Amino acid sequence: MYNPNDPKLKSWVSVESTSDFPIQNLPFGVFQKNDKVAVGVAIGSMVLDLSLLWKEGFFSEIFPSQEENIFAHSSLNAFMNCGKEIWQKTRTRISQLLEAGSSELHDHAVKEEALVTLDEVKMLLPIKVGNFVDFYSSIEHATNIGSMFRPDNPLMPNWRHLPVGYNGRASSVIPSGTPIKRPKGQTKADDAENPTFGPSRLFDMELEMGFIIGKGNDLGSSISTKDAPDHVFGMVLLNDWSSRDIQKWEYVPLGPFLGKSFATSISPWVVTLDALEPFLVDGPTQEPAVLPHLQYEGKGNYDIHLEAYLQGEKMEASERITKTNFRLMYWNMQQQLAHQTSNGTNTQAGDLYGSGTVSGTTPDSLGSFLELSWRGTRPLKFPNGEERKFIQDNDTITLKGWCQGEGYRVGFGECSGKVLAAD
């Protein structure tokens, strides 16, 4: 049986050894070239236009009765809604067409038009986001934040019993490369009697991963941890931009609102769970034991190397500010989705879930400026003499992530955003 994850596979498309997009990956995204918008997959430095392959009948056996070109859409939602079996068959078909030695597409007249370089296209938001949920699932991050504000009781009583999360703002999810305007809002200094209104001064990033629902569940039903992977289409890098001073003032009693809702950046390429399967690993031991509906079997985490970079207006190059790994997360995706739907909440294609900030155990593995500078008491120092306690105007933050295979890597590309001054 053909295995699209075979580490020995090579493509007739040239792929550098350090590329995020070898034939073992084939992530899905939405691109624009001139006036055309379509679904494509990344292979090396190229984008394969799936809408043209559809027209030429390359997918006719997978979609025998489908008349509408499912890849001539401005989002992946229609394709994702087809379900896991179709996702897998489509990825396998694309892999076979791109495999070294395969002549079916290589010798076809459509090849020249269907393969375009990444430099020729603009990558768009890959999904139409229906709902956005952000979790708080790194025990290192939660402990760090808790120890800053509640030294005697860093973790709240519920934290080890359920994946803590909140419903975020879907309308402000944006694709990588979109500038972020510094938000304005109410803040209150510790020594002030009343709040003031103005631009946020404590502007932060959050290094996260996101997962995307492909096939949802009905209202009143739930998704088990066992079935959760069948509902998840894939993953993206995610930066949940945060205004810490606005957040601090508004946080009690109902949690994040304006300090989080102004922008969330995601990478444009969605890496499927099938491509990530070789990188499944065991997660941390959960103590005390979780309730039955959150228990799971097998490996629940992914070995994804994560890094974040900052480049200021006066910096010649970007500087790495942190490196960590997604495998450290206390709560995994299966548990997050099972918890979300345990009360009968329905999900739908395009729903986006943030993992929460991914932080490690060392000072150079923390996923936010709030931790990296420890509330501004330990500024980050850069080679050009600049320092950062939090993000300044005209700083660009870039997230990177990949899984390292045997002679190849399955990566997510980049998730970047430049912070602009408030109006």
Active-site annotation, residues: 141
Closest CA to 369 of 390, 387, 395: 390
Contact 28, 39 (CB under 8 A): yes
Which residue is listed with tokens 């009360």?
343
Torsion angle of C-alpha atoms 68, 57, 234, 214, degrees rounded to 10: 30
Sign of the alpha-carbon dihedral angle for 20, 22, 25, 30: positive
For residues 81 and 67, give the distance between their C-alpha atoms in angstroms, rounded to a whole number: 16
Going 242 to 245 to 248 to 254, the CA torsion angle's sign is negative
Give the integer Cα–Cα distance in Å for 80 and 46: 22
In angstroms, the CA 230 to CA 113 distance is 34
Beta bridge partners of 115: 48
Residue carrying the six token digits 């956005």: 132
CA end-to-end distance (rounded Å), the chain: 58
